[in-house]
Amino acid sequence: MTSMPGVVARGEVNELPGQPPELIGADREKFSRRHPAELLLFDGSAASFPAALRNLAAYRPVLMRSEELAAGSVVLHVWLIRLGVYYHPPVQRVF
């Protein structure tokens, strides 16, 4: 299974051209164009995920959730990362 980073931006999911843990120029360009609030990493192994999180430092990443999804002998590791530089919390309305 190959690592696949996905960007969630404005309700759309986009693939990144690079492979974690590296962050290539095309990935950075997509970030600057799309301003994704979240990044989803998934792979059969989470071994590269900590390095990917470190490589995202300029985007103020926060690991929001990590899970292992299993079906029989197949396991998928999933990390949801919030990119603080683009995340805008919902406005709390006071009544």
Q: What is the pLDDT of residues 23-40, one digit of tens each?
A: 899 989 988 988 888 888
**Structurally, how many domains does the chain consist of?**
1
- The whole-number pLDDT of residue 50 equals 94
* Residue 89 resides in a domain: no
Assign residue 48 the CATH number of its domain: 3.30.1710
Domain containing residue 34: 4-83
The answer to whether the CB of 1 falls within 8 A of the CB of 41 is no
* Residue 16 resides in a domain: yes
* Residue 88 resides in a domain: no
* Residue 90 resides in a domain: no
* Residue 71 resides in a domain: yes
Decide: residue 3, CB within 10 A, 0-12 exposed, 13-18 middle, 19+ buried: buried
* Residue 49 resides in a domain: yes
* Residue 95 resides in a domain: no
Per the model's pLDDT, the better-predicted residue between 12 and 77 turns out to be 77
Residue 68 predicted with pLDDT over 80: yes
